[in-house]
Each structure stands twice: as C-alpha cells, then as structure tokens.
Amino acid sequence: MNKEKRTAIIAGNWKMNKTASEAKELIESLIPLVKDAGCTVIIGVPFTDIAVAVDLTKGTNIHVAAQNVHFKDSGAYTGEISPRMLTEAGVEYVIIGHSERRQYFGETDETVNLRARAALAAGLKPIICVGESLEQREAGVTEEFVCRQVVMALLNMTAEDLANVVIAYEPIWAIGTGKTATKEQAEEVCAFIRKVVEENYSKAVADALTIQYGGSMNAGNAADLLSMEDIDGGLIGGASLKPNDFAVIVGAASK
C-alpha cells in the first residue's frame, strides 16, 4: 500500500450469505472490532440485508455496499435493483462484475461498463472486479485478458469518474479455492492494472486509484499481501463472515 497516494480499502463481500437477523448479529460484533480502523471499511451485503446494515452502521466508520446493480433507473427488469433504489436505501458502494456474476449470470465486459457508469451517475462508488482463470494464466495471457477487462470497464469514464472507482483484482483460480496468489503474483497484476490506467488516463489518475486484491485474502496472509506497493486493500470473501478474522485484515490495512 501507498497511503500517501491513495486510500486503503477493505471490503467484505458476503455473497449469498446471512439473513437479516444473522446480518444484525454479525454487524454488531464487527462494529467495536474495527472502530479505530486506519482504512476505509465496507461490507457488501445481500439486497435483503441492506436496510438493517445501513441502520446499524449509522454513526460508525463502516460503509455499506450492494453486490450488484442494474444499468437502468426503472423498467421491466424483473428481479433487478436500480441505482436510485440503492442510493435511496443509503448504499454508498456497489460491487460490479464479480467473476461469479460473469460465470453464472452472464455478465460481460459491456454490461459491467454499463452498470458501473450507471452507478457513478447515481452517486454510487463502483468496486469493479477483474481477473483471469487458471487456464488463461497457464496460457500466458493474463495481462492481455485483464487489460481488456479494465479498458472495457472504464470505457467512456472521465478522469473525474475514476476518483470514485475502485478496481479489485480477483484471479478466478484463487476465489473460494483456498489457493492464493503469492504476494509477488498479486503485485505484478495490480501494478499492471495501474499501468493500463496510466496509459489510458494519466500517471496522477493511476497513482490515486485504489486497487484491491481479492483472491482468498485472509487473516493469515493479509499483512504480506498488503505490504506490496500496488495492493491497496482487499475484497474479502469467506473471512468477511468472521468478525475477528475480518478485523485482523482491517488491522493489517490500518498500519
């Protein structure tokens, strides 16, 4: 991390876990554990948990994210949630383009861009996920693949827009598998993402961009990963459901 240039962010992605009552219990346990955090703390909760999460985190240093958003303000899109619905509910951030959304629900680079731009227009801050599969890594096309994802995700965004964007590098092969990229592997791709942004915008914009690592970061490896120059935080899966573990990761990002 380089806190002189950018904000360190630890965001929990709860995925499809926790009912509203379970969310209440988890958040109440988490609040005192992270109250002195020296980084931005976010919890990405299921839609049905948003109301309780926003209510419980009022007056705390915890911010609430949704896990997806549609790119229209309203319309015949059964099952979708609009940007305006999220902002009125008190949501500040939204996770977009997670590999599970791409794999199971047909997200594409194009729809990721539409969702991210709609989120920005509504005053939300998108956390845009990118990352390669094991096959792509072994074929030596990681940079080519991630470059396309980043460029397409940021298409038609201004430098001013990027001040409210977070990019999360999540190698698909390290999500929920127990495998983790080495700190050098993670740093290499995060640095490459920053280079892509510099080439498409400017060094100043790239230097200010928060880039998270999200491949099975946990309480045991967070400090090592966060010691790298271009890793500015984490998008945390399983460990975000364990308040004590999540607090350890927040603590590592607070140093």
Catalytic, 170? Answer yes
Quote the tokens at residue 79.
């099952």
Catalytic residue among 100, 107, 132, 170: 170
Which residues on adjacent β-strands are paired with residue 40? 9
CA distance 226 to 243: 19
Compute the chain's Rg from CA coordinates. Answer: 17
Nearest to 168 by CA among 53, 13, 63, 2: 13
Catalytic residue among 63, 98, 100, 187: 98
**108, burial (CB in 10 Å: exposed 0-12, middle 13-18, buried 19+):** exposed
For tokens 């047909």, what's the residue? 106
Nearest to 157 by CA among 126, 196, 117, 129: 117
Quote the tokens at residue 3.
């806190």
Instruction: Classify each residue of 53-72 as buried b or exposed e, where b means 16 or more C-beta atoms within 10 Å of its C-beta.
Output: bbebbeeeebbbbbbbbbbe
Catalytic, 63? Answer no
Whether the CB-CB separation of 250 and 242 falls below 8 Å is answered with no
CA distance 105 to 61: 32
Would you tell me how many other CB atoms lie within 10 Å of the CB of residue 148?
A: 14
Active site residues: 98, 170
